[in-house]
Amino acid sequence: MPTAPASEIAPQQASRRILVWDPFLRLAHWLLVVTVLAALVTGLVFDATWLAVHVAAGTAAAAIVLARIVWGFLGPPTARFSEFVAGPRRFLHHLSELMSGSGRHHLGHNPAGGAMAIALLTVIVALSVSGVAALGGSLKSGPLAFGTTFAVGEVFRSAHELIAYGLIGLILLHVGGALFESWRTRQNLVLAMIDGRKTAHPETVATTTVANPRLAIVISTIILGGAASLVFALSRLPASGAPSQTIDPTYVEECGACHNAFHPSLAPAAVWSSLLDGLADHFGEDATLDPQQANSIRTYLMANAAEAYDTKPAHRLRRRDSANPLSIVATPFWRRVHSTIPDKTFAMKAVGRRSNCNACHADAVAGSFSPFAIAIPQE
């Protein structure tokens, strides 16, 4: 029969409630509940304007997990990985005991609970890594924006979403397992994760491993401080494939006199060429330019059209509406991302028309269109 750690077996003694979960472990558990739920809701339910909250919640969850991993080596017995990470044989033996109704009591995590704890921590780490990569490639933001292409970012974005749904499945299993174990052992495990106490049955006893909180704090501070410094430094590097130069003043002066001077990356070169070729009938008006100005603007637009950049708008807006290929607001991508915005918002004085990107996007002129720079005017 597989052997068990000392925390599972003990001489006969009277049942009593003892402190099992230390304050940090309990605090980390409930902070993870809050931050993970916030990240899931803002990422899977809310729109892009909540991305800043989503990133903040995900970052906080990652920091908590890193601190919890350190505590898993330096904390008290029930917090240590060495005490609750079971091998395959002990894990399967525990499951067979549960199915036969003879499962023993465990002071801390049982083998199934230990496996779930490791799975949850691993998945949160995977979400953090995939989220940073997706942010860097798809949105050209964060510490990996300097070297992550849009295509790679989209792969990680899809993986990030898939892992998030996997995490939801694990959470449901975790809650179900906790409720089952509470019923099986006649102990309120939710309450135990609040006050830290469980009933020590005659067959259970704690080991005498001593925690080292000071060393844990030092190591956690070094790791988190170093990670924060690295993220800050990398985030300052120019994003790969993103617009960086100032928009051409001649283009702004001539085209911006009547409407927004859209960043060239918002349309492919063929669209800009068609617009310039049809200036004599530019959406019902004669917008003919001086030949020298027209050539200057054409050179600028051709060099900075959507094909020249690796941003999300540059990629998505290359697909045009066949019935109205010259209009940005007619593109499938524009219609999809603005589908939840009511018509009355576009009719507001602060907006005026659907093509007034500057009304909601603070970085529209630069061609970035970051979700972090969205502020929809309110009545």
| Residue 24, domain CATH | 1.20.950.20
Q: What is the pLDDT of residue 257?
A: 76
Q: What is the pLDDT of residue 65?
A: 98
Q: Which two tokens stand for residue 116?
A: 């779930």
Cα distance between residue 97 and residue 47, in whole Å: 46
Are residues 65 and 120 both part of a single domain?
yes
Question: 46: how many CB neighbours lie within 10 A of its CB?
Answer: 12
**Structural domain that includes position 289:** 249-373
Are residues 119 and 223 both part of a single domain?
yes
Q: Is residue 378 one of the residues assigned to a domain?
A: no
Strand partners, 285: 282
* Encoded amino acid at 366, one letter: A
Q: What is the pLDDT of residue 108?
A: 84
Print burial letters for 267-285: b (CB count within 10 Å at least 16), e (below 16): bbbebbeebbeeeeebeee
pTM for the model: 0.87
Are residues 35 and 74 both part of a single domain?
yes
Query: Exposed, middle or buried, 245 (CB in 10 Å: 0-12/13-18/19+)?
Result: exposed
Q: Is residue 11 one of the residues assigned to a domain?
A: no
| Domain's final residue, options 235, 257, 281 | 235
What are the C-alpha distances in Å from 293 to residues 96, 278, 282, 372?
81, 15, 16, 35
Q: Is residue 121 one of the residues assigned to a domain?
A: yes
Are residues 255 and 209 both part of a single domain?
no
| Domain's final residue, options 235, 262, 292 | 235
Q: Is residue 5 one of the residues assigned to a domain?
A: no
> Three-state secondary structure along the chain?
CCCCCCCCCCCCCCCEEEECCCHHHHHHHHHHHHHHHHHHHHHHCCCHHHHHHHHHHHHHHHHHHHHHHHHHHHCCHHHCHHHHCCCHHHHHHHHHHHHHCCCCCCCCCCHHHHHHHHHHHHHHHHHHHHHHHHHHHHCCCCCCCCCCCHHHHHHHHHHHHHHHHHHHHHHHHHHHHHHHHHHHHCCCHHHHHHHCEEEECCCCCCCCCCCCHHHHHHHHHHHHHHHHHHHHHHHCCCCCCCCCCCCCHHHHHHHCCCCCCCCHHHCCHHHHHHHHHCHHHECCECCCCCHHHHHHHHHHHHHCCHHHCCCHHHHHCCCCCCCCCCCCCCCHHHHHHCCCCCHHHHHCCCCCCCCCHHHCECCCCCCCCCHHHECCCCC
Q: What is the pLDDT of residue 75?
A: 94
Are residues 259 and 126 both part of a single domain?
no
Number of domains in the chain: 2
Q: What is the pLDDT of residue 97?
A: 80
Are residues 203 and 338 both part of a single domain?
no
Are residues 148 and 269 both part of a single domain?
no
| Domain's final residue, options 235, 270, 305 | 235
Q: Is residue 243 one of the residues assigned to a domain?
A: no
Are residues 74 and 188 both part of a single domain?
yes
Are residues 301 and 157 both part of a single domain?
no
Are residues 66 and 180 both part of a single domain?
yes
Q: What is the pLDDT along the chain (379 residues), one digit of tens a residue?
A: 444 444 444 444 445 778 889 999 999 999 999 999 999 999 999 988 899 999 999 999 999 999 999 999 999 989 999 888 888 888 888 788 878 877 777 788 888 899 999 999 999 999 999 999 999 999 999 999 999 999 999 999 999 999 999 999 999 999 999 999 899 888 899 999 999 998 876 555 455 567 899 999 999 999 999 999 999 999 999 999 999 878 899 888 888 777 788 999 999 999 999 999 998 888 888 888 888 888 999 999 999 999 999 999 999 999 999 999 999 999 999 999 999 899 999 999 999 889 899 999 999 988 989 999 999 988 7
Helices 51-74 and 23-44: angle between axes, nearest 10 degrees: 150
Q: Is residue 72 one of the residues assigned to a domain?
A: yes
Q: What is the pLDDT of residue 2?
A: 44
Are residues 258 and 203 both part of a single domain?
no
Are residues 73 and 181 both part of a single domain?
yes
Q: Is residue 158 one of the residues assigned to a domain?
A: yes
Q: Is residue 241 one of the residues assigned to a domain?
A: no
